Structure 1
Amino acid sequence: MTSRPNDSAWLTGYIPDLPTPFDEADRIDLKALERLCERQIAAGVSALVVCETAGEAPTLSDAERDMIVRAAVEIVQGRARVIAGTGSNSTNKAIEATQRAEAAGADAVLSVVPCHHGPMQNGIYAHFCAIANSTGLPIILHDVPARTVGELADETLVRLAESKQFVGLKDGAGDIRRPMRLSSLLRSDFRSLSGHDGNAVAYIAEGGDGCISLLANVSPDLCQIIFSSVRQGRLQTARYFQARLALLESCLTKESPAALKYALSLLNLMRPGTRLPIVQLDEDAMDEVAKAIAGIESIGRARL
């Protein structure tokens, strides 16, 4: 595997995993995508993720993925990095998706551990090496054992991070001590970000660099306050705001991306439409999301 230098200073803070907005005819709603991107830029995010978990990636055609990445790049115009989800349980398909994202202008890709197969660690290592050899883009690894069956072992992560093309990790394994445990084994410029909003404060306090987040879609300003508070050692402040977001975090965890889309529809940012097998929320779940949004708005009024 060829090592290519890639600056990773931008990979920090709360980075939103954007949902894919659909219009009434189930087409990509580019106007809504622009609203979502501009709102995040205004909040000062360093990067955006498209076509990943919250983006209902498995339901998107190749042409739709290309359209979304291209549109995000055009909207952002260098004000933040655009990270494209390109993972697959097929190495060849992951390579093809990565190359398409690169051609569409993505700044980096997010690639998940192959799911279902349960490959050996040597297979996972070879999978990511093959992807790296197919592109010049920085690669963010995604470890989420609850969804993929297989895990990205610490030893494999350390091996991969020897190449500077692997710039970071979206860590969905749930072990908040992982950043501290691996701090002496990984490059100083390798970024570790939580993949769970619920443990983000603890993960960052243990040496993590941020969170690839669902909550940041709904409340980017509060998420930036939480991150800066942890970095400044004001853990009580960070935990206070995280606790105020706990109801919404619970809703999003249980029913995402349907709950995320419904929350954003209440903020008049997009329609709540999803694609099968994801369906829209039932009335009880809608009420919970509405209650959570009202609570966040009350925090905003109290800060004025």
Structure 2
Amino acid sequence: MTYKKLAKNLETICAINITPFYKDTKEIDWGGLEENIQFLLKHGTEVIVPNGNTGEFYALTLEEAKQQTRNVVDIVQGRATVVAGVGYSVNTAIELGKDAQEAGADCVMIHQPIHPYVTTDGAISYFKKIIEALDIPSIIYFKDPHLSDDVIKELAPLEKFIGIKYAINDLPRFKKVIREVPEEHNLAWICGTAEKWAPFFYNAGAKGFTSGIINIYPESSFAMLNGLREGDHEMVWKVWEETLDYENLRAKYNNGNNVVVIKESMAEIGMNSGVTREPVNPLNEEDKKEVEEILESWNLLNKVND
């Protein structure tokens, strides 16, 4: 598959799968992971991202991250594009990336560096070294508003750089960088802040968006995607309105609720989600009640995953 074709394949919903952990040991429940991936495939998911933030990437050991990518590739069997999350130091990200390419992943997503001291030129060097060290292509996760969009513009000519998960909710800034990157580079622009922001980013040029909701309510996510593609504004804003409170709840405590709301929701409707690892705690009772109310409004409460 050409890099251009692969980039085009990312113009859809990028499903960030969860990593289920056993309650008592906090070890990975690999059977639960397979259930999650099979659910996504059953509902037509075209892009799956193991080792994303909703998958608690930074709570995994390197060996667990490698194994998760391998397992997801094995389960998917070519039925969806697999984008493996990699990160940490340059050498560690390359190690994870090479393991992912050996496993058969289609491309990697390079997480934003978590080091507290990052400069624009340093970020360019970080991403470039990882991109050039791998045989499979890369997208970058761009979410630090303090970094210049020059990072993207400098990387754009690289052949194996095929897309950006843009997670800075500044629409004029986003539109400006799209206009400044020549179309000949064929980059996939992906809204990295899910259904809440997808309609706005779509109209600014992002033809794909990430989703955690797709793990529990894929019908809603695909209704938004199809509405955006078909110009069905009534459908788009209907989905946006019905998911807004849920996404706001995930964003609570400076996004501390991001993963645990998804896992609690899955558990409420009979899916095997497991618990979260530290530093994320279970939901408090107030937030749990809000989850239940939203699921009830979606007619998902007590639904059994079959």
Q: Fold conserved (TM > 0.5)?
A: yes
CA change 1:298–1:27 in 2 (3 A) is: closer
**In percent, how many aligned pairs have the same letter?**
24
Give the counterpart letter for 1:110 in structure 2: M
| Paired residues, number | 292
Question: 2:44 — aligned with what?
Answer: 44
- Higher mean alpha-carbon deviation, 176-185 vs 187-196, is at 176-185
Which structure 1 residue ranges, 5 or more long, are not aligned? none
Does the 8 Å CA contact 1:19/1:56 hold for their aligned counterparts? Answer: yes
Question: 1:136 — aligned with what?
Answer: 135
1:159 aligns with 2:158: no
Does the 8 Å CA contact 2:107/2:139 hold for their aligned counterparts? Answer: yes
- Aligned counterparts of 2:91 and 2:67: Cα–Cα separation in 1: 21
- Higher mean alpha-carbon deviation, 110-119 vs 232-241, is at 110-119
Question: 1:237 — aligned with what?
Answer: 235
Residues 258-304 of structure 1 deviation map (CA, whole Å, 9 limit, x = unaligned): 111111111222244111111111111111111111112279x9xxx
Question: 1:193 — aligned with what?
Answer: 190
Give the counterpart letter for 2:190 in structure 1: L
Give the counterpart letter for 2:191 in structure 1: S
Does the 8 Å CA contact 2:12/2:47 hold for their aligned counterparts? Answer: no
Matches within 5 A, 1:161-240: 161-184=156-179, 185-187=181-183, 189-197=186-194, 198-240=196-238
- Aligned counterparts of 2:280 and 2:182: Cα–Cα separation in 1: 37
1:72 aligns with 2:67: no
Which structure 2 residue ranges, 5 or more long, are not aligned? none
Question: 1:23 — aligned with what?
Answer: 22
How much does 1:240 deviate? 1.0
- Aligned counterparts of 2:66 and 2:150: Cα–Cα separation in 1: 34
Does the 8 Å CA contact 1:158/1:186 hold for their aligned counterparts? Answer: no
Does the 8 Å CA contact 1:143/1:171 hold for their aligned counterparts? Answer: yes
Question: 2:62 — aligned with what?
Answer: 62
How much does 1:238 deviate? 0.2
- Aligned counterparts of 1:222 and 1:160: Cα–Cα separation in 2: 34
TM-score of the superposition, structure 1-length normalised?
Answer: 0.89
- Aligned counterparts of 1:67 and 1:21: Cα–Cα separation in 2: 14
How much does 1:245 deviate? 1.1
Question: 1:107 — aligned with what?
Answer: 106
Does the 8 Å CA contact 2:3/2:162 hold for their aligned counterparts? Answer: no
Does the 8 Å CA contact 1:205/1:231 hold for their aligned counterparts? Answer: no
Does the 8 Å CA contact 1:248/1:293 hold for their aligned counterparts? Answer: no
How much does 1:179 deviate? 5.0
Which of 283, 288, 291 lines up with 1:289 in the alignment?
291
Residues 69-117 of structure 1 deviation map (CA, whole Å, 9 limit, x = unaligned): 11111111100011111022x2222222222222232211111232234
How much does 1:42 deviate? 2.0
How much does 1:187 deviate? 3.1
Give the counterpart letter for 2:226 in structure 1: S
